Chains A and B, each alone.
Chain A
Amino acid sequence: MDKKTSECQVIVVTSGKGGVGKTTTVANVSTALARMGYRVVVMDLDIGLKKLDLILGLENRVIYDIVQVIEGECTLRQALVKDKRFPELYLLPAAQTRNKDEITPEQVKQLCDQMRPEFDFVFIDCPAGIEQGFRNAIAAADRALVVTNPEVSAVRDADRIIGMLESAGFQDIKLIVNRIRPDMVRHGDMLSIEDLLEHLCIDLIGVVPEDKSVVVSTNRGEPIILNNRSTAALAFNNIARRITGEQVEFPTFEEDSFWNRLKGLGRNLFSTR
């Protein structure tokens, strides 16, 4: 199938703090876009600690990795792993036994330029931290998605990352709040979406609730968006739609109605399928 859009978008998913849900976001949003018919490649830049292949369930198909492409041991085409479910989705795996410092921002840019004509979206899974791996991951990106959790240390790191992205010239930085628990917000035990927006002052593109089925789908190596009943699945699907420019209403952040609205939206979306 041909590309759906003329311009390819390179999108980095980053956070500063580790373990907030970057890889889960990349796997699900890219799968959702591929399901809509876009041509998508996900690039794992968490070199030395790769996980994207596992979350996508593609670990047994990986032959080459990004460092081998850069060092000329194989071609880009040879290294790209085709997804099991969606023929428009590809993974460019990270190297497991290498070091983040072995590649440079310039090399990442060149790789992305090679992929732009062929794909609608290139997603970059950024490693935690603010060092070389972060600089490599943002070098080629046109826009950035910052993932955070409603928790002080994650918000602090998100703020730092937003500042660094702004200094690097990024105009399009959007926030994803992952692992929110509306029941805890309601009881005054967790920061709310409004709280986070007040602190971070950037636009919101997604709110993903804490959802046990994320762990289950990770165990199975199947992106959660393939599970119609999960609230996280709906949230990731909505992020994908917003990335394409579609206006998808957010549930009101009035804590009391949040959960119900989310459920209501879910029913509508899935019953029209």
Chain B
Amino acid sequence: MLDFIKKIYMRDDTSSRNQANNRLRVVLTHDRLNLNANTLNTLKEEIIAVISKHLDIDGTPEVRLITEGRNTALDISIPIKGR
């Protein structure tokens, strides 16, 4: 019974432990790159603008940071409209 209650607890996305983890993921990535949320948004807009000058973008482009260990990569995924 106790275990059951605990499980529900742990799955809860709003637990302060989960919130701390989510906030840390963002803040550590930004700290390591010396980047803030604003710069990231600008970067995203500019990348999309450059691409759309030459190609037709189809659907929702994605520009985001992915982290593996202490390393980070910029992940750009832009669907292009074909003929």
Spell out A's residues near B (CB within 8 Å): 151-152, 155-156, 159-160, 162-163, 185-192, 195, 199, 201, 256
Contacts and interface: CB of A to CB of B under 8 A. Distances in A.
B21 interface: yes
Contacts of B27: 152, 156
Interface of B: 6, 9-10, 12, 15-18, 20-21, 23-25, 27-28, 31-32, 69-70
B16 A189 contact: yes
A187 B21 contact: no
Nearest to A156: B27
Given A186-B6, A188-B10, A199 B16 contact: no
Given A160-B31, A201-B69, A201-B70, A188 B24 contact: no
Contact of A191 (B10, B12, B17, B32): B17
A199 B70 CA distance: 8
Main SS class of interface, B: helix
A191 B21 contact: yes
Contacts of A201: 69-70
Given A160-B31, A188-B10, A195 B25 contact: no
A156 B21 contact: no
A152 B31 contact: no
B27 to A, nearest CB: 6
A189 B17 contact: yes
Nearest to B28: A159
A159 B32 CA distance: 8
A151 B17 CA distance: 9
A162 to B, nearest CB: 8
A186 B17 CA distance: 10
Contacts of B9: 187-188
